[in-house]
Amino acid sequence: MTSFDFLIVGAGFAGVTMAEQIATRLNRHVLVVDRRKHIAGNMYDGFNDAGILVHLYGPHIFHTNNKRVFDYITQYTEWRNYQHRVFAYVDGRFVQFPINLNTMQELLGRSFDPEQMNAYFESVRAKDVTVRNSRDVIVSKVGEELYNKFFKNYTKKQWNRYPDELDASVIARIPVRLNRDDRYFTDVYQGLPKYGYTRLFERMVSHPNIHLMLGVDYREIKGMVPYQKLIYTGPIDEYYDYRFGALPYRSLRFVHETIDQPFYQSVGVVNYPNDYEFTRITEMKRLTGQEHSKTTIVYEYPTDDGDPYYPVPTEESKERYRQYAGLAEQDDGVLFLGRLGTYKYYNMDQVIAQALSVFEKEIVTKYSHS
């Protein structure tokens, strides 16, 4: 039986970034194991029956202000320059989101300049609010009416909890702008891998020191494969057999529909905060830039069942995670990474940055000379 220096559980960005660093910089042998039958985790993409490139697990737009992360990923891909734009279907019309000057002009039927918009928000926002949750974040900025139009019901659909039940960090991720910038992200570096995420991951794992075992639960082979160190990017509560109870996660169900027309909607993503059971519709060609006579759209239905996607940030879940984190601190046999391993609602670039940082702090110092 082949012996490995590291066993890495999970072939998403956390696991594959760590595997790439260990293989290329330390010249050590790594086995990457994933329950899914493919690499790339939730970033996995491929061509459907109609020949349209789709993201199988929802839209993923790479964006970052971290030059180190951007330069690192650019070693393995060329980029399609893409600036993400989103509409929200509110009051029977499609308006720009996040909220900006154009959004307010469309909703209220009058023009605003930045000073007027700021004055309007000042007149309607909730005063003297101590920000304790996601509802407080919004009503203290823009008041109850816009909170109800854009945030309250969307959050309930997405998380199965209203904003006042969620940590302030959830909605704090979404800006309110006093200008006409209609981009969803304003990061310096934005785009999509020119040939898709799967191709990017294939290049990252192409080093001969990286070995893959897909469609396998690591627990089935853990006792059979010799290794020195385990790096785990799956759910930390599952690793410890739910000793303190299950951590809450939200999952997603995707419904793909291919339509015999060139385009379906005018932007890549349209949110539906108050209508229908799905939260949003993504048109994949708007993201990838692919030319095709047909188009594929994807409906997203949040659910509690299925693969864990999003850690649910509540006070109760944070306290439960701290118990698991306490176990991990005392456990020299495993290193936890990523959204699920560290129970944090990370973006892609943050996952990569975490893996690069942990590699330097935890792996290089201990294994570069042994």
How many degrees, rounded to 5, is the angle at CA 283 between CA 278 and CA 288?
140
- Per-residue pLDDT tens for 266-288? 999 999 999 999 999 999 999 99
At a CB cut-off of 8 Å and minimum separation 6, what does 14 contact?
233, 337, 338, 339, 341, 351, 352, 354, 355
**What mean pLDDT is predicted for residues 54-60?**
97
- Residue whose C-alpha is closest to residue 309's, from 370, 235, 359, 223: 235
Beta bridge partners of residue 31, listed in sequence order: 7, 211
Please report the pLDDT score of residue 369 as a whole number. Answer: 63
Please report the pLDDT score of residue 144 as a whole number. Answer: 97
Please report the pLDDT score of residue 2 as a whole number. Answer: 79
Task: Check the CA dihedral 179-183-184-187 and report its sign.
Answer: negative
How high is the mean pLDDT of the chain?
A: 96
Q: Which two tokens stand for residue 129?
A: 């609010």
At a CB cut-off of 8 Å and minimum separation 6, what does 316 contact?
none
Please report the pLDDT score of residue 57 as a whole number. Answer: 97
Judge if pTM exceeds 0.85: yes
Q: Is the peptide bond before 308 cis (omega within 30 degrees of 0)?
A: no
Has residue 370 got a pLDDT over 70?
Answer: no
Q: d(Cα 354, Cα 360) in Å, to the nearest integer?
A: 10
**What mean pLDDT is predicted for residues 315-338?**
96
Q: How far is CA 310 from CA 153, 250, 338, in A?
A: 18, 5, 11
Q: d(Cα 154, Cα 161) in Å, to the nearest integer?
A: 10
Q: d(Cα 270, Cα 279) in Å, to the nearest integer?
A: 9
Please report the pLDDT score of residue 300 as a whole number. Answer: 98
3-state class of 289 per DSSP?
coil
**What mean pLDDT is predicted for residues 45-68?**
98
At a CB cut-off of 8 Å and minimum separation 6, what does 291 contact?
none
Please report the pLDDT score of residue 366 as a whole number. Answer: 85
CB contact at 8 A, 235 and 249: yes
CB contact at 8 A, 188 and 69: no
Please report the pLDDT score of residue 17 as a whole number. Answer: 98
Q: d(Cα 62, Cα 79) in Å, to the nearest integer?
A: 10
Q: Which two tokens stand for residue 356?
A: 């690069």
Q: d(Cα 305, Cα 326) in Å, to the nearest integer?
A: 27
Q: Report domain 4-39+205-247+312-367's class.
A: alpha beta
Has residue 329 got a pLDDT over 90?
Answer: yes
Please report the pLDDT score of residue 1 as a whole number. Answer: 59
Please report the pLDDT score of residue 368 as a whole number. Answer: 72
- Per-residue pLDDT tens for 102-128? 999 999 999 889 999 999 999 999 998
Has residue 295 got a pLDDT over 60?
Answer: yes
Domain boundaries, the chain: 4-39+205-247+312-367, 101-172
